[in-house]
Amino acid sequence: MLSESRAIEGYLVEQYGKSDSLYPRDPKKRAKVNQMLYFDIGTLYGRVGDYIFTVYREQRKDMGKFASMEEALSIFDSMMNGQRWVAGDNITIADYTMAVSVTTAEIAGMDIAKYPNVKQWFDNSKKAISAYEEYFNNGAKIFKEHFDKAAEKLKK
């Protein structure tokens, strides 16, 4: 049984995809997608999650962890310089995954506009992912309500 979303994405595309555009079979192209999936889980989402879970678990805002999240977005911004998609010329599962991480960073209070390459990519992703509003944004709104409640407790 698979339980990691990135592995599940790869499996679903390999099993049911009509083409390999979302997760290329070409080793060089796939390596770039994998690089970005690993960057996401290990750095971007890793740091976003670390900050958010500190608010939930420890009932405190750790500004060092917030700065770490900013650093990850800055690195991502540099990686996106001159690129439309995170792993090449086409949208891939890495774009879907990283869109979740950036959406979550926004929930945590990150101003994505500070990262122009990320912002441009994120705007493109929201348009290209046909179910973004239904699956990503609606769920994010619910998560934001919970996060804001947890953050509000910190003010008391």
Q: pLDDT for 15-50, tens place per residue? A: 998 999 999 999 999 999 999 999 999 999 999 999
131: tokens are 């179910």
SS3 85: strand
User: Nearest CA to 35 among 97, 84, 120, 82?
Assistant: 97
Pair of tokens at residue 127:
């348009």
CA angle at 29 for the pair 27 and 33, rounded to the nearest 5° = 110
Kindly give the residue spans of alpha helices, DSSP state H, lying in 82-137.
Answer: 93-107, 116-128
Count of alpha carbons within 13 angstroms of residue 39, beta-carbon side: 21
Q: How confident is the model at residue 65 (pLDDT cuts 50, 70, 90)?
A: very high
Confidence band, pLDDT 50/70/90 cuts, at residue 75: very high
- The answer to whether 35 and 60 are in contact (CB under 8 A) is no
Average pLDDT, integer, range 46-65: 88
* Signed CA dihedral, 66, 106, 77, 129: sign only: positive
CATH code, 26-155: 1.20.1050.10
Of the pLDDT bands very low, low, confident and very high (cuts 50, 70, 90), residue 103 is very high
